[in-house]
Amino acid sequence: MHIAYLTPEYPHPIVAHSAGIGTSIKNLATALVESGHQVTLFIYGQKKHQTFVEKGIQFHLIKQQSYKLGGFYFYRKYIQQYINNNSQDIDVIEAPDWTGITVFMKLKKPLVIRLHGSDTYFCHLENRSQKKKNFLFEKWALKNAISITSVSSFTAQKTKELFNFSSDITVIPNLIALEHFKPTEQISEVPYILNFGSVIRKKGVIALAKAFNLLAQTNDKVCLKYLGKDVKDAVTGIMTSDLIKQEIDPEYHDRLVFLNQVPYEKVNSYINGATVVCLPSYAEAFPMTWLEAMALEKPLVTSNIGWAPELMINETTGLMIDPDHTENFMHAIDRMLTDGEFALECGKNARRHLQAYFSKPQIIEKNTAFYKQVINS
């Protein structure tokens, strides 16, 4: 089969942006090529046009275009024309649900949409207002897709409720390429709690700061590190790092570290060095950050919301908590810091859990079966 992915992001040095969706596409695309399939990437919103082949994957970087009026429509039609002109050998095209990028497109090849979490979905989980245009575009795009798949059952069910449709949705979780994640015992001499990903409210980073402030009162050594891009807070308009500092007493600020974005290939070293990884997100679909921390056998504390039980097993692969229960959150972190035997066992259980349910053989089989069904229909 020849599968194409339309995406605004991908982890590559010359691609303008990358986050969880890009990482999940890379894992899937690489595994499909290794399994003998062909993969093409159409990456829009880029600084310039560029095409090349790397590790068996065909890249098409599509330049962002400027329009005086109606850019939301004309750029989509521009992407449509570009794909149609370069899709002769492609069997199926996949796009994400975010902002309904395919809403006005008439593609020559079958189109499927994967639910990574739409703007509608995240606005609902975060209880914030949404642009009506985004809601309509996402709803129309889903309606026009031949088939829909989702990275979690929770995201599938919530999406059906929010858009009021009854179409069948095939659930296929994100995969993790375990061979790229090598656990080490080289933990930092100075213990630190790590949160990685965008430094943004929905990731629970402010809740983590509150828990750390309590913990620091009894633990005079542990530090808190945030690794990722600092984002302006949608509620207050203040940079999220400043909101975090406001929640932590000034006497503990010397134990608070913000690390700007680092190259993707270097992130693992920061995860391996952490004593505990804390990812207390309020809004996710099936987070790659959780998969990566579990793959590296890290003691992990996460939120217990929605999608979480589809990935984590409380008290077995880590600890799940309500991020808003600050004292319980603090005790969960403290347990991972002080009960070394429990923390070690959770980490090893986490990797075994991924091997059994979310590694390449299982997830590639589900994806290829899904694509074949779409093509044959």
Query: Taking 80 as the threshold, does the pLDDT of residue 186 lie above it?
Result: no
Whole-number Å distance between alpha carbons of 243 and 233: 8
Give the number of other Cβ atoms within 10 Å of residue 136's Cβ.
13
| CA distances for 341 relative to 67, 280, 285, 314, 338, angstroms | 59, 23, 31, 16, 9
* Average pLDDT value for the chain: 95
Say whether both 307 and 192 belong to one domain.
Answer: yes
Q: Is the pLDDT of residue 283 over 80?
A: yes
183 and 150 within one domain? no
pLDDT in tens, 125-176: 999 899 999 999 999 999 999 999 999 999 999 999 999 988 899 999 999 9
Domain check: are 155 and 240 in the same one?
Answer: no
Do 149 and 28 belong together in one domain? yes
> Of 32-41, 165-174, 178-187, 258-267, which gets the smallest average pLDDT?
258-267
Element (H, E) at 204: none
Q: 126 and 226 share a domain?
A: no
Question: In this structure, are 203 and 340 located in the same domain?
Answer: yes
Per 3-state DSSP, the chain is made up of helix, strand and coil in percentages (nearest 5) of 45, 20, 35
Q: Are residues 135 and 27 in the same domain?
A: yes
Look at the chain and report how many structural domains it folds into.
2
Residue 259 has pLDDT above 80, yes or no: yes
Element (H, E) at 187: none
Angle between helices 132-144 and 153-163 (to 10 degrees): 110
Confirm if 55 and 74 have CB atoms less than 8 A apart. no
Interhelix angle 288-295/20-34, rounded to 10 degrees, is 60
Residues 338-356 have a mean pLDDT of: 97
Strand partners, 284: none
- 185 and 171 in a single domain? The answer is no
Instruction: Give the pLDDT score at 17.
Output: 78
- Specify the pLDDT at position 261: 73
* CA nearest to 116, candidates 140, 150, 139: 150
Strands 50-54 and 57-63: antiparallel
β-bridge mates for residue 196, sequence order: 227
Q: What is the CATH number of the domain that holds 101?
A: 3.40.50.2000
How far is it, in rounded angstroms, from Cα 309 to Cα 234? 28
- Rounded Cα distance between 150 and 222, Å, is 38
pLDDT of residue 140: 96
pLDDT at position 265 over 90: no
Joined tokens for residue 357: 């349910």
Residue 338 lies in domain = 179-357
pLDDT at 185 over 90: no
Q: Based on the domain organization, do 158 and 239 belong to the same domain? A: no
Say if residue 79 is in the same domain as residue 166: yes
Helices (H), the chain: 20-34, 71-85, 119-126, 132-144, 153-163, 205-215, 240-247, 267-273, 288-295, 326-338, 340-357, 360-376
Region 192-217: mean pLDDT is 96
Distance of CA 205 to the CA centre of its chain: 16
Name the residue among 283, 288, 294 with its Cα closest to residue 349: 294
pTM value > 0.85: yes
Whether residues 363 and 339 fall in one domain: no
In the block, tokens 């600890």 appear at 319
Q: Are 287 and 271 in contact (CB under 8 A)?
A: no
Res 4: pLDDT: 98
235 has pLDDT over 90:
no
Query: Under DSSP, is residue 58 helix (H, G, I), strand (E, B) or coil?
Result: strand
Q: Which tens digits make up the pLDDT trace of 49-74?
A: 999 999 999 999 999 999 999 999 99
Residues 155 and 105 in one domain: yes
